[in-house]
Amino acid sequence: MAREFTSVGVVGLGTMGAGIVEVFARNGIDVVAVEVSDAALDRGRANLTGSTDRAVARGKLAEADRDALLARVDFRVGLDALRSVDLVVEAVPERLDLKRRIFAELDRVCKPEAILATNTSSLSVTEVSVATGRPHQVVGLHFFNPAPVMKLVEVVRTVVTAAEVVADVEALCTRLGKVDVTIGDRAGFIANALLFGYLNHAVAMVESRYATREDIDAAMKLGGGLPMGPLALLDLIGLDTACEILDTMYRRGGRDRRHAPTPLVRQMVTAGLLGRKSGRGFYTYEKPGSAKVVPDESTPAQARPAAGDGARPVARVGVVGVGATAAGLDEVFTGAGYDVVRAAPGEDLAGLAEVDLVVEAVAEELGVKKELFASLDGICKPGVVFATTTSSLPVIDIAMATGRPADVVGLHFVGPASAWPLVEIVRTVRTGAEATATARAVCATLGRTAVVCGDRAGLVVDALLFPYLNDAVKMLEAGYATVDDIDHAMKLGCGYPTGPFELLDAVGLDVALASQRALYRELRDPGLAPAPLLEHLVTAGYLGLRTGRGFRDHTGR
């Protein structure tokens, strides 16, 4: 029989703690909610009532249920109020010294049989547990943000956690309507170990002005299918918490420089730009705690390009190529009212003399593309914009094959071929403002969201997505978690529509490996080296859905 939890304590009522209180109280469990001061307690109470009031307003919670929920919560200052609870979940800031101090105090205050749990995202549960005299009764109970919404809880078992304690908290998770995965004590557990390198890389893109915050977030939502962009997500998590998590992951996770907090994160924390909770982070919010973004000095002046911004008129479009991409482009441009001229590489290109824009989708080989652009240079009229759809080759190499590199851009159509909701416009060091403006205006006419970025391997979407997938393979290879657990963690903890292994099987392991190799070649960062397991599976011909087998066997379906 699993242990009965009738009363629990939650310590720290910030971004996570208030949500955890709500989860327990919604499920009929009495909660003692503890803060460090009266002022912090008032803020914590406001966090909880704000959330439950929103649930009532949206029709997700009846008023009477809200009142019953709030009646189950006893708000207190100081840990002494936790004498009789069966379980405590600690959710104070991500600092080891603070958590160890609190656990030592909880050990003194709580009844001997009480289970002590930490909601830490990255710190060692083992190190926290040995601050008590009952390390076998200490676990990690890692909820996801927002706790009432996200289904996943990572249950972290240390080498000393008793098996029955793990079983008891697993049963509790089920009672709370959560799905748990039980794992060992490793920095970042499953989800954050895969998430934070990606988030930090997105910040580095903003810091280096590679792309704007709006463009990076739009790219990952539309091109990566994610529920939220990385910068909006960092604002939700809180930059102070994110910075502490990155720091710990860097120290505990093998000093992978991808986890060393980007200087911009630290500067923002110092400046008090913590995200939603302080009213300003990467974006500006209506007020502290609000989810509503309001315009600020970085908000683009106009959502759509307007006439007069230097865009050249485009009526006739040349599409070069014979494959599926070229056929899709033909359809998309024709559908938007452009006069399309199709041409095949190696054949007579004279028909392209009068087009205003050329988009090539020929073989993904630098020599082929350079040769094509060199001949287009001799055929096309002045003022034409040349676009390459490459996703892996440097656009500048292609541009320099022409005598007019200022007129060359990349136009990478991203997403399912039929929809292509996103276009990454690549601006090289030689691309002129008129060519970029023309590309933007054309994308607007096509009804596609365009994002502008620099000329780097993987552009925005692939550069952020493939290292995450590669990290998932490394985690599997290390024996830390299973394919199913990792897929579940990302879907239920982070709201991803597919798990990393589902995605790898769908895009093709060979495609993922080629992209990862290109990123590694360009950046020479050891953390980006392709996972050996990925290389082996590709060598073995296990390429995913296309061959019937990848990380999963699809032959029986």
Ligand X SMILES: NC(=O)c1ccc[n+]([C@@H]2O[C@H](COP(=O)([O-])OP(=O)(O)OC[C@H]3O[C@@H](n4cnc5c(N)ncnc54)[C@H](O)[C@@H]3O)[C@@H](O)[C@H]2O)c1
- Do residues 384 and 442 touch, judged by C-beta distance below 8 A? no
SS3 assignment, position 77: strand
Q: Which of 51, 182, 241, 436 binds ligand X (CB under 6 A)?
A: 241
SS3 assignment, position 252: helix
Nearer to ligand X, 14 or 467 (CB): 14
119 carries an active-site annotation: no
- Could you tell me which residues come within 8 angstroms of residue 54 by beta carbon, excluding any fewer than 6 positions away? none
Smallest distance from ligand X to CB 92, Å: 4
Q: From the candidates 90, 154, 214, 424, which is the catalytic residue?
A: 154
Q: Locate tokens 């200052």: which residue?
A: 77
Smallest distance from ligand X to CB 255, Å: 20
Smallest distance from ligand X to CB 191, Å: 9
Q: Which residues pair with 10 in a beta bridge?
A: 33, 89
Buried b (16+ CB within 10 A) or exposed e, 475-489: bbeeebbebebbbbb
Q: Which of 28, 74, 80, 93 binds ligand X (CB under 6 A)?
A: 93
Smallest distance from ligand X to CB 141, Å: 10
Enumerate the H helices of 61-153 as residue ranges.
63-71, 96-109, 125-129
Q: Which of 7, 40, 96, 130 binds ligand X (CB under 6 A)?
A: 40
CA distance 450 to 444: 7
Burial-class residue 400 by CB neighbours within 10 Å (0-12, 13-18, 19+): middle
Binding status of residue 489 toward ligand X by CB under 6 A:
no
Enumerate the H helices of 176-292 as residue ranges.
191-207, 213-218, 230-237, 239-252, 263-270
Nearer to ligand X, 37 or 298 (CB): 37
Binding status of residue 34 toward ligand X by CB under 6 A:
yes
Binding status of residue 238 toward ligand X by CB under 6 A:
yes
Smallest distance from ligand X to CB 143, Å: 6
Q: Which of 141, 237, 395, 398 binds ligand X (CB under 6 A)?
A: 237
79, two tokens = 């840990």
Binding status of residue 425 toward ligand X by CB under 6 A:
no
Nearer to ligand X, 171 or 236 (CB): 236
Q: From the candidates 47, 142, 244, 515, which is the catalytic residue?
A: 142
Binding status of residue 275 toward ligand X by CB under 6 A:
no
Nearer to ligand X, 11 or 469 (CB): 11
CA distance 189 to 152: 12
Nearer to ligand X, 94 or 485 (CB): 94
The overall longest dimension of the chain from CA atoms, in Å, is: 86
Binding status of residue 235 toward ligand X by CB under 6 A:
no
Nearest residue to ligand X on Cβ basis = 14
Q: Which stretch binds ligand X (CB under 6 A): 118-126, 423-431, 436-444, 482-490?
A: 118-126
Q: Locate tokens 């440097």: which residue?
A: 394
Q: Locate tokens 């500048």: which residue?
A: 396
For residue 89, give the nearest of 177, 43, 154, 37 by alpha carbon: 154
Smallest distance from ligand X to CB 106, Å: 10
Q: Which stretch binds ligand X (CB under 6 A): 137-145, 149-157, 159-167, 454-462?
A: 137-145
154 carries an active-site annotation: yes
Which residues ranging from 498 to 527 are in contact with ligand X (CB under 6 A)? Answer: none
Smallest distance from ligand X to CB 146, Å: 8
CA distance 462 to 460: 6
192 carries an active-site annotation: yes
Nearer to ligand X, 241 or 388 (CB): 241
CA distance 550 to 483: 11
Q: Which residues pair with 549 in a beta bridge?
A: 544, 553
How many C-beta atoms lie closer than 10 Å to residue 172's C-beta?
26
Instruction: Report how far apart, in Å, the C-alpha atoms of 85 and of each of 29, 59, 70, 79, 164 are.
Output: 11, 32, 18, 11, 18
Binding status of residue 156 toward ligand X by CB under 6 A:
no
Nearer to ligand X, 149 or 429 (CB): 149
Binding status of residue 145 toward ligand X by CB under 6 A:
yes
288, two tokens = 């502290």
Q: Which stretch binds ligand X (CB under 6 A): 35-43, 65-73, 169-177, 362-370?
A: 35-43
Binding status of residue 278 toward ligand X by CB under 6 A:
no
Nearer to ligand X, 288 or 541 (CB): 288
Enumerate the H helices of 380-492 as residue ranges.
395-399, 433-446, 461-477, 483-488
121 carries an active-site annotation: yes
Q: From the candidates 51, 129, 192, 391, which is the catalytic residue?
A: 192
Nearer to ligand X, 117 or 446 (CB): 117
Binding status of residue 51 toward ligand X by CB under 6 A:
no
Nearer to ligand X, 35 or 424 (CB): 35
Q: From the candidates 121, 122, 129, 515, which is the catalytic residue?
A: 121
Which residues ranging from 1 to 20 are in contact with ligand X (CB under 6 A)? Answer: 11-17
Q: What CA dihedral angle connects 520, 525, 527 and 533, to 10 degrees?
A: 30
CA distance 428 to 436: 10
Q: Which stretch binds ligand X (CB under 6 A): 138-146, 179-187, 319-327, 363-371?
A: 138-146
CA distance 352 to 116: 72
- Do residues 61 and 48 touch, judged by C-beta distance below 8 A? no
Nearer to ligand X, 319 or 481 (CB): 481
Q: Which stretch binds ligand X (CB under 6 A): 34-42, 323-331, 386-394, 511-519?
A: 34-42
Binding status of residue 530 toward ligand X by CB under 6 A:
no
Query: What residues are annotated to the active site?
Result: 121, 142, 154, 192
Q: Residue numbers of the site for ligand X (CB under 6 A)? A: 11-17, 34-36, 40, 44, 91-94, 102, 119-121, 142-145, 237-238, 241, 245, 277
